[in-house]
Structure 1
Amino acid sequence: MTGYIKFLRDYVGHQPIQMVGAGVFVENERGELLLGLRIDNHCWGTAGGAVELGETVEEGAKREMFEETGLIAEELELLGVFSGEDTHYTYPNGDEVYVIDVKFVCRKFHGTLKPQESEVSELRFFPIAELPENISPMEIISVNKYLQMRKNFRS
């Protein structure tokens, strides 16, 4: 949990909050998608998390990508902004959020894959046709948009 969100949670407990999130669809040279197996809900998802106070969304996306995967983004391309009821989520600990989720695609990166032990138990590049079924509920809409973008891009 980030400093700002922890600060808010100290005041509101599990009550719903609105949070700005930033996430990254990391794609390797073979066109495979990097997903991490989340420790909290045991679902697969992209690297991402809450944007800190004073941080740009791009900075937050790059920071989260590095923290969760060990990879350093060289370029980010905006995929989309996701919000509203579709991004409402209750974490396993009871914290409730409505996320304004800004998602990017990163195809240029460097570094060594290393999962953030406190949040991710496994990192794996998946061929697009073999994505796991247990995608994190908060990410289903952005994953579908990513897949549609890939389909349009490849056609």
Structure 2
Amino acid sequence: MSNYIDRLREQIGKTPIILVGASILARDDNGRVLLQYKCETGNWGLPGGTMRLGETIKETACRKLYEETGIKADNLKLTDIFSGEDFYDIDPDGDCTYNLIVLYEAFGVSDELISESEKSSLNVEYLYPEEVSNLELRSMKILNRIGIFSEDYIS
């Protein structure tokens, strides 16, 4: 988490805040979705994260895609924006957030994922979301709303 958010939390405690972030949808030629294993939650999810002060949301998407997967995309296309009660979250520390998530689809992505030691994710793979038993709820909701993941899988 950024120093900005840490400083904000020191001032306001667990009070809900609005966080702005980006998620990235990248697919291979077989239609599998690029997912990262998030060691802090023990779930698979779309690459993405929180915007830094002074950063554009597209810069956030590019930075998070590279930091978490080592991949650079030739082209990012704005796909959708998600917010509201469905994207309210309480993290393990009890911090409450309403998330505004901007989804970009990445095109011109290389097929080679970087080695484990070079990226911040424990694992990154192209997977069919419905075959992942521990897909995070936020990614399920995003993929469902854009027609990639069936509501039937959401409990």
Smaller-chain TM-score bracket: 0.7 to 0.9
CA shift for structure 1 position 95: 1.8
- Taking structure 1 as the reference length, the TM-score comes to 0.83
| Secondary structure of 1:36's aligned partner | strand
2:121 maps to what in 1? 120
CA distance in 2, matches of 1:54, 1:23: 18
Measured after TM superposition, the shift of residue 108 of structure 1 is 1.4
Aligned to 2:137: 137
> Does the CA-based 8 Å contact 2:85-2:98 persist in structure 1?
yes
Is the counterpart of residue 2 in structure 1 residue 28 in structure 2? no
**Percent of aligned pairs sharing the same letter:** 31
* Partner-residue secondary structure (3-state), 2:140: helix
Runs of 4 or more off by more than 3 Å in structure 1?
Answer: 114-119
Match of 1:53 in 2: 53
Displacement of 1:121 in angstroms is 1.9
Offset, 1:134: 2.0
* Distance verdict in 2 for CA 1:120–1:8, change over 3 Å: same
Aligned residues: 149
Following superposition of structure 1 onto structure 2, how do residues 87-106 of structure 1 map, counting pairs within 5 Å?
Answer: 87-106=87-106
Contact 2:82 2:101 in 1 (8 A): yes
Aligned match of 1:19: 19
Q: Secondary structure at the match of 2:109?
A: strand
| Cα distance in structure 1, aligned partners of 2:32 and 2:15 | 37
Instruction: Say what the alpha-carbon RMSD is for the aligned residues.
Output: 2.4
Cα deviation code 1:77-119 (max 9, x no counterpart): 1221000100001112222110001011113123643458896
Q: Is the 8 A contact 2:113 2:124 kept in 1?
A: no
5+ residue gaps, structure 1, are none
Alpha carbons 2:68, 2:119 under 8 Å: kept: no
Q: Distance in 1 between matches of 2:63 and 2:14?
A: 26
Alignment of 1:109 onto 2:118: no
| Bigger fraction of residues in strand | 1
Any unmatched runs of 5+ in structure 2? 151-155
SS in 2 for 1:62: helix
Paired with 1:19 and 1:65, the residues of 2 have a C-alpha distance of: 18
| Residues 70 and 115, structure 1, Cα contact 8 Å, conserved in 2 | no
Give me the whole-angstrom Cα distance separating, in 1, the residues matched to 2:84 and 2:97. Answer: 10
Tell me the distance in 1 between the aligned counterparts of 2:35 and 2:18: 25
Check conservation: 1:18, 1:97, Cα contact below 8 A.
Answer: yes
* Contact 2:52-2:60 within 8 A present in 1 as well: yes
Question: C-alpha displacement at 1:28, in angstroms?
Answer: 1.9
